[in-house]
Amino acid sequence: MEKLAIRGGARLDGEIRISGAKNATLPILAAALLTDGRVTVGNVPHLNDVTTTIALLGRMGVEVTMHDGWKVEVNPTSLNECYAPYELVKTMRASILVLGPLVAKYGRAEVSLPGGCAIGARPVDLHVAGLRALGAEVEISDGYIRARAKRLRGARLFLDTVTVTGTENLMMAASLAEGETVIENAAREPEVVDLAEFLQRMGAKISGAGSDRIVIQGVDSLGSASHDVQPDRIEAGTFLVAAAITGGRVRLRAVQPADLESALLKLGEAGARVSTGDDWIELDMEGRRPLAVDISTAPYPGFPTDLQAQFMALNTIAEGVATMSENVFENRFMHVPELQRMGARIRLEGHTAVVTGVSQLRSAPVMATDLRASAGLVLAGLVAQGETVVDRIYHIDRGYECIEEKLQQMGASIRRLA
């Protein structure tokens, strides 16, 4: 299994280009199933999750062509099965995103239940309930969701919990339903807005994306479109913390500062000097040790749960005590024992972690458990004394394009061990 070895101590300083957003790319590639034509998606990041999604589409008979690195062309007219098998879905729960498009466009779908994962049970009950409300017959047996519908009918949906992929699945399904669908308590994430823009380019009639109430007027068919994926706000936040934790400086290009409001405010509270333009962010810690910042994760526009582990790494070496509440997932503190092995002082009280900053972490062999936890461990390795080896970094490759190259560009001493 591949590992990353990080030698701590360098104050990072550099400029990097942010890749396209993983969590916008995945639903947009699923939405390609809805078209009668062909679609082109640009600024696609080179990530394992994207490769997995392309493999999933390919095995359904969909024609997917990669052009000059970042552009993907999808032609679903050759689709010959509506089936997402367990061996693929278990590696990437976001495969559930093909469910809505398949039922809406082809009238049938057989998608494996995603199963739990390191950060919690992560059910898909709201996805299923929404499809049933849209008129689909859905049964769940032997680990599979089997759905059928002649034609979906618009309905008024209320999501009990804010769910990002639930909102996305139902917005895609409603695009081809008969009549009007209203999604109340919808997720407001920027990735939902990016997906809505892509669907609108295909001819969907959607209003309210980005608010908690999305209205979709179903249409009979969707056409060709091309769309460039928005920048990855979580990758951007991760590299901002990499500069902050080392007392350094970073300039991010091809990024949307407005998507990172809550994280930028917290970095300012931590003592960083942050400036932004329409497509760039600059952070300078000016050699200072960060100040502890309290974090409470929430659906967008609240503080993103996907940056919680990264900010915990920052807090482990900050001045003061920080209280960090994880309110979105029930078990997203898997990085805590690993950080404690590096000398971090963290006390867990249910959904809350109390982090008392120490002046220095010590390197240790640590293990990645989920995508963002692994990023937090890499960040801790940047400031730990000695060489930290992070194992099971396939988690990282799912969500970060060439993380070691980008950190090396910033001056980090990091290398991949086979």
Using rule CB under 6 A, residue 23 touches ligand EPZ: yes
CA distances to 136, 149, 173 from 105, in Å: 12, 10, 8
Cα–Cα distance, 264 to 417 (Å, whole number): 33
DSSP notation for 396-410: HHHH-TTHHHHHHHT
Q: What are phi and psi of 101, to 5 degrees?
A: -60, -40
Q: Given candidates 161, 207, 275, 360, which one binds ligand EPZ under the rule CB under 6 A?
A: 161
When the beta carbons of 162 and 344 are compared against ligand EPZ, the nearer one is 162
Q: How far is the CB of 164 from ligand EPZ (least distance, A)?
A: 4
Using rule CB under 6 A, residue 310 touches ligand EPZ: no
Using rule CB under 6 A, residue 26 touches ligand EPZ: yes
When the beta carbons of 239 and 384 are compared against ligand EPZ, the nearer one is 239
When the beta carbons of 25 and 363 are compared against ligand EPZ, the nearer one is 25
Closest C-alpha to 13, from 312, 374, 408: 408
When the beta carbons of 279 and 330 are compared against ligand EPZ, the nearer one is 330
Q: Cite the active site residues.
A: 117
Please report which helix (H) or strand (E) contains residue 167, including its range.
helix 164-175
Q: How far is the CB of 413 from ligand EPZ (least distance, A)?
A: 26
Spatial contact of 13 and 287, defined as CB atoms under 8 Å apart: no
Q: Given candidates 147, 155, 164, 193, which one binds ligand EPZ under the rule CB under 6 A?
A: 164
User: Which among 20-28, 137-145, 275-283, 333-341 is the span making contact with ligand EPZ, rule CB under 6 A?
Assistant: 20-28
Using rule CB under 6 A, residue 329 touches ligand EPZ: yes
Using rule CB under 6 A, residue 308 touches ligand EPZ: no
Q: Given candidates 43, 95, 163, 175, which one binds ligand EPZ under the rule CB under 6 A?
A: 163
Using rule CB under 6 A, residue 184 touches ligand EPZ: no
Using rule CB under 6 A, residue 105 touches ligand EPZ: no
Cα–Cα distance, 396 to 393 (Å, whole number): 5
Q: How far is the CB of 343 from ligand EPZ (least distance, A)?
A: 26
Q: Given candidates 194, 232, 284, 306, which one binds ligand EPZ under the rule CB under 6 A?
A: 306
When the beta carbons of 52 and 363 are compared against ligand EPZ, the nearer one is 52
DSSP notation for 306-355: GGHHHHHHHHHTSBSEEEEE--S-TT--THHHHHHHTT-EEEEETTEEEE
Using rule CB under 6 A, residue 302 touches ligand EPZ: no
Using rule CB under 6 A, residue 214 touches ligand EPZ: no
Using rule CB under 6 A, residue 378 touches ligand EPZ: no
Cα–Cα distance, 365 to 327 (Å, whole number): 29
DSSP notation for 282-307: EEE-TTPPPBP--EEB-STTSB-GGG
Cα–Cα distance, 11 to 290 (Å, whole number): 13
Cα–Cα distance, 362 to 386 (Å, whole number): 7
When the beta carbons of 191 and 284 are compared against ligand EPZ, the nearer one is 191
DSSP notation for 250-279: EEEES--GGGGHHHHHHHHHTT-EEEE-SS
# residues near ligand EPZ by CB under 6 A:
23
Using rule CB under 6 A, residue 241 touches ligand EPZ: no
Say how many C-beta atoms besides its own lie within 10 A of residue 235's C-beta.
26
Using rule CB under 6 A, residue 305 touches ligand EPZ: yes
Spatial contact of 234 and 255, defined as CB atoms under 8 Å apart: no
Using rule CB under 6 A, residue 328 touches ligand EPZ: yes
Instruction: Provide the mask over 333-372, with x wherever binding to ligand EPZ is found by CB under 6 A and - wherever it is not.
Output: --------------------------------------xx
Q: Given candidates 15, 81, 125, 137, which one binds ligand EPZ under the rule CB under 6 A?
A: 125
Q: Given candidates 60, 94, 366, 403, which one binds ligand EPZ under the rule CB under 6 A?
A: 94
When the beta carbons of 361 and 375 are compared against ligand EPZ, the nearer one is 375
Q: Which residues contact 13 (CB under 8 A, 6 or more apart)?
A: 243, 248, 249, 250, 410, 411
Say how many C-beta atoms besides its own lie within 10 A of residue 15's C-beta.
13
Cα–Cα distance, 218 to 173 (Å, whole number): 9
Residues near ligand EPZ (CB under 6 A): 22-23, 26, 94, 120, 122-127, 161, 163-166, 305-306, 328-329, 371-372, 399
